[in-house]
Structures are given as C-alpha cells and as structure tokens.
C-alpha cells in the first residue's frame, strides 16, 4: 500500500510504502526489506511490519549498510514496526 503526501518542508512529494512481513522468520524479513528499498527513491519511506524478533537486529544493519536511515522502531502488540527513510539514490531502480 502506498500513501502519498505533500512534504511542504522539503517541497517534494514523498511516498510511504507499507510492507507486512509478519509471520516470516529470519532472514526473509531482511531480504524482502532490502528488495523493497531498491524500488524507492530518495526521500521515500518504507514502513515494515514484522514479528520475527531478530528483525530488530537484521533490518537496521541492512538499512545502515545501504546508506539509509531508520526513523523509528516501535513494538505494537505482537509486531515490530520499523519506519525507514531512503537516503541513498545509488541503488534506486524505479521505472
């Protein structure tokens, strides 16, 4: 699901993509997050929902290695929610 909103402070349109990875076990959440990040452009955000506790370690490591930024990590009920901002355009491949 993609939500568009006007970020007036940055004078651009940013997209937030929600990715539900609940129920998937270690390495799949990190791998699928990495794949989803490639489809974003700089300034876009990815909201990842997962239930695997190791994702709190794996996904931030992947995000930082890619030159991107974790904005927030929350725990909601049985899920972990990570909000990631794409900061590195080098690997974006949006058509």
User: Which CATH number goes with the domain that contains 28?
Assistant: 3.30.110.40
Q: Of 23, 17, 19, whose CA–CA distance to 3 is shortest?
A: 17
Whether residue 30 lies inside any domain: the answer is yes
Whether residue 6 lies inside any domain: the answer is no
Whether residue 64 lies inside any domain: the answer is yes
Give the pLDDT confidence score for residue 6 in this predicted structure.
41
Whether residue 23 lies inside any domain: the answer is yes
Give the pLDDT confidence score for residue 91 in this predicted structure.
53
Whether residue 21 lies inside any domain: the answer is yes
Whether residue 45 lies inside any domain: the answer is yes
Cα torsion 41, 65, 55, 91: sign: positive
Structural domain total, the chain: 1
* pLDDT per position as a tens digit, 3-41: 444 443 444 667 999 999 999 998 999 999 999 999 999
* pLDDT per position as a tens digit, 30-86: 999 999 999 999 999 999 999 999 999 999 999 999 999 999 999 988 899 999 999
Give the pLDDT confidence score for residue 77 in this predicted structure.
83
Structure tokens at 89: 């355009």
| Domain around 39 | 13-89
- pTM for the model stands at 0.79
Whether residue 5 lies inside any domain: the answer is no
């Amino acid at each position: 699901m993609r939500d568009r909103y006007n970020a007036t402070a940055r004078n651009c349109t940013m997209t937030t993509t929600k990715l539900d990875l609940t129920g998937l076990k270690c390495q799949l959440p990190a791998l699928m997050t990495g794949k989803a990040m490639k489809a974003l452009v700089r300034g876009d955000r990815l909201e990842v929902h997962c239930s695997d506790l190791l994702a709190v370690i794996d996904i931030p490591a992947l995000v930082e290695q890619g030159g991107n930024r974790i904005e927030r990590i929350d725990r909601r009920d049985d899920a972990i929610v990570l909000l990631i901002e794409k900061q590195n355009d080098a690997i974006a491949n949006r058509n």
